[in-house]
């Protein structure tokens, strides 16, 4: 299962190679979950975000997102950080109600 997710993430990264223009080809497979989510939020479309969620799942995406919370160095635009913070809180709250 994990290999399937890793394979899908690698394909997703290749599809969006322009988001990682500064990353050497041989290091693309070692892009962290945090960097991938950061680039999806900063540069991707809603469709890209939905595709990302299909690959990693909403729970993993929210856990990865909240790792940014305590970080002094956030590379997310503040408006996008705020929007996605509210989004993930709402999604998790809705899942906890069910």
Query: pLDDT in tens for each of the 98 residues of the chain?
Result: 567 989 999 999 999 999 999 999 999 999 999 999 999 999 999 999 999 999 999 999 999 998 887 676 668 888 888 999 999 999 887 777 75
pLDDT of residue 2: 66
Angle among Cα 38, 40, 45 to the nearest 5 degrees reads: 145
Q: Are 76 and 42 in contact (CB under 8 A)?
A: yes
Q: Pick the closest to residue 9 from 39, 85, 62 (CA basis).
A: 39
Distance CA 34, CA 8 (A): 16
pLDDT of residue 13: 96
Distance CA 2, CA 77 (A): 30
pLDDT of residue 53: 96
pLDDT of residue 98: 58
pLDDT of residue 73: 60
* Phi then psi dihedrals of residue 23, to 5 deg: -95, 125
pLDDT of residue 55: 96
Query: Half-sphere exposure of residue 2, counting CA atoms within 13 Å on the CB side?
Result: 0
């Amino acid at each position: 299962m994990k290999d399937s997710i890793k394979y899908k993430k690698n394909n997703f990264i290749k599809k969006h190679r322009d988001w990682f223009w500064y990353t050497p080809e041989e290091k693309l497979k070692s892009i962290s979950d945090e960097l991938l989510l950061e680039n999806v939020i900063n540069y991707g479309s809603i469709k890209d975000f939905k595709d990302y969620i299909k690959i990693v799942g909403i729970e993993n995406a929210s856990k990865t997102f909240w790792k940014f919370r305590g970080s002094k160095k956030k590379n997310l635009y503040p408006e996008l950080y705020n929007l996605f913070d509210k989004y993930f809180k709402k999604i998790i709250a809705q899942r906890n109600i069910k």
